Chains A and B, each alone.
Chain A
Amino acid sequence: MLKMQDVSKVYRTDLIETHALRNFSLEVKSGQFVAVSGPSGSGKTTFLNVAGLLETFDTGIYELDGQDVSRLSDDARSRMRNEKIGFIFQSFNLIPDLDVYDNVDVPLRYRRMKAAERNQRITKALELVGLASRTKHMPSQLSGGQQQRVAIARAIAGDPALILADEPTGNLDSLMARQVMDLLEQINEMGTTIILVTHDPELARRAQRNIHVVDGLVIDSAPYERRLGADERAGAGGSMPA
């Protein structure tokens, strides 16, 4: 699904150069649930932006769904983002003056889908996240957890092959965080590849693989058994730190 080889990304100013990614190599297979963790400033978000085609990189090779994306035009990158990638952000990033329905509609609009198909997809996505009855609500009328579920519905409405989630539970309390994680797992079980950036070890443990990033380098890529993660959660009384 995603293959990065020796990808480097340097932010330059007049005074300093910051190496956000250094020879970053990673392969994520289709259907995997991967957690990327690491300390602040380690390059997690840069990785996610590069992986999500929101930023370009300086050197290396990046293939998404078998296609080399390094030489794609901005239009082609936008189209690829729209069709293959769903984003979930820590601060939800819902558009404040659009209601729930219209927020989920945004990526479908850019795909120029017909109204009937858009409606079908939006309804299905909102049903999956349990918000089918809130279509006319504005984001400000929803709780944080509900807003994140709308964001998840927006991410999956276009039926992407890959979901990139940047600290999706960072702004939620533990109960809501668990609901969101459950939802992500459910989506993953339906075959969607998920890459989750987090510095919460408990969340990372729920993924199949845990990628540890330090100073823009992949330090560790140890696989986790999902069963084991589930057992550990059960041993901890089912609670999850916020």
Chain B
Amino acid sequence: MLRYYLRLSLKSLRRTPGLTALMVCAIALGIAACIVTLTVYHAMSGNPIWWKNNVLYAVTMDSWGADEPHDPQHPTLAPPQLTYTDATALLRSSIPQRKAIMTQMDGMLSGAPGQTVPMQALTRATTKDFFAMFDVPFEYGGAWGGNDLDALPEIVLGKRANDTLFGGTDSVGRTILWNNNRFRVVGVLRDWQPLPRFYDVVDGAFEPPEDAYVPFSWITTLRSVPSGNMDCHTSVAISNYQQLLGSECVWIEMWAQLPSAARRERFRAYVDSYWAAQRRAGRFPRPLNNHLTNVSQWLQVNGVVSSDSRILLRVAFAFLAVCLLNTVGILLTKFLRGAPIVGVRRALGASRRQIFLQHLVEVAVVSIAGGVLGLALGAAGLVGVRAIYAQDSAYGLLAHFDPLGVAWALALAALSTLAAGFYPAWSIGRLPPAGYLRGR
């Protein structure tokens, strides 16, 4: 019967091309608006390392001054970064299964075979566990080894850098200059771009991936000044590198891999005891406010998903609801217009269920057509977003279709339209046939 209903649906839709086009367009517009906002929202709010959500923790400690909190708008939050003193002290703990400290650097890569112009390379200075903690995929080689605070001059290249400098070949073992200092390539990453960039939301949750990763200890060896965010609560002038390292300025992110509650509690106690010892030594005038924050909470407390996006998402769904309400109205009108024929079918033996199914199939056909058109419009909308935000890497990176997005869109189209068409299809099946036969 399904094929029969499908045939009847196509005939019925062809009978009223104007109404059909109106319905399909209404659904398509609603779906397209939702696709665009959902895609951006999903990318912004998604947890790119959800499988380790309750294993990875951002480590924060309130080292801020007594006068006011780090963020007066959120006074309960500790600064999202640590001082060099605290980060390196906590890094010495053996409690975490893995731990990493990191900061963002500007870098120049040069010295590759045939390279004439240095390549500007966004760089992450970090410790070796960074790669294993965050499940960073390697194309060639792996992370550097050795002691975190006394590493060899080794570098891991991002895919873009390796493609540019070595034509995408295995460059492990080759030597390259990072800010004019010789580093040996030990690893090359595959295309890796977690969105949002959860491990450093302070320097931009939607920034492009780094081109190079160098051992953290080397930036102090080379006295390189970080290019990422740095907050200081004292107005003491910093005149040399040693003063920077000893200052109360926060500029280092720290993450710890704590797979069990027991390990988590032990590390929390370790951080608290370190804090207490420092306080006794005259630091940390503010009350105890240390946190171990998992990834999803970290994204939330740092406002990665803007309230604008949430409002936009609500508006898009409201728009879809309006489109669907219009579709309900059009479907009711169309189905009621065909009521005399339904009366004939009922007289000839069609049950209410059969009439309902016949009309539901028609709704499904409209839904599929609306969904497909909506998908096309949504894709065009995302191209538009990319074009408008071409200068803004965040939206530019986000505005692309992913398979999950397409699945969402199709499910949304099918479910919402079927839900919208259920009532008209049900209503038409309940019509008393005799009344409509008489009027025919």
A contacts, CB < 8 Å to B: 45, 49, 52, 54-55, 74-75, 78-79, 81-83, 87, 89, 91, 93, 95-98, 106-107, 109-112, 154, 158
Contacts and interface: CB of A to CB of B under 8 A. Distances in A.
Contacts of B12: 97
A74 B430 CA distance: 10
Q: Which 6 A-B pairs have the closest CB atoms?
A: A82-B349, A78-B351, A54-B434, A107-B348, A110-B349, A49-B434
Given A97-B11, A109-B1, A75 B351 contact: yes
B440 interface: yes
Contacts of A79: 349, 351
A52 B346 CA distance: 11
20 contacts: A49-B434, A74-B351, A74-B352, A75-B352, A78-B346, A78-B351, A79-B351, A81-B346, A81-B349, A87-B348, A91-B440, A93-B340, A93-B347, A93-B437, A95-B344, A97-B15, A107-B349, A109-B1, A109-B4, A110-B351
Nearest to A56: B432
B433 interface: yes
Given A49-B434, A78-B354, 4 more contacts: A106-B344, A109-B4, A110-B349, A111-B349
Most buried by B among A54, A89, A107: A54
A232 B1 CA distance: 50
A89 B438 CA distance: 9
A45 B351 contact: no
A78 B350 contact: yes
A67 to B, nearest CB: 16
Interface string B1-44: 10010000001101100000000000000000000000000000
B223 interface: no
A83 B348 CA distance: 9
B345 interface: yes
Given A54-B434, A54-B437, A55-B432, A154 B348 contact: yes
B344 A93 contact: yes
A29 B73 CA distance: 91
Interface in B324-353: 340-341, 344-353
B348 A81 contact: yes
Contacts of A89: 437, 440
A94 to B, nearest CB: 8
A87 B346 CA distance: 11
Contacts of A52: 347
A91 B341 CA distance: 12
A75 B432 contact: no
Contacts of B346: 54, 78, 81
Contacts of A107: 348-349
Nearest to B349: A82
A89 B433 CA distance: 13
B11 A98 contact: yes
B346 to A, nearest CB: 7
Nearest to A154: B348
Nearest to B7: A102
A98 B437 CA distance: 18
A205 B243 CA distance: 120
A55 B1 contact: no
Nearest to B347: A87
A176 to B, nearest CB: 20
Most buried by A among B347, B350, B351, B437: B347
B384 to A, nearest CB: 40
A83 B340 CA distance: 21
Contacts of B4: 109
Contacts of B433: 54
A112 B3 CA distance: 13
Contact of A78 (B15, B344, B349): B349
A93 B343 CA distance: 9
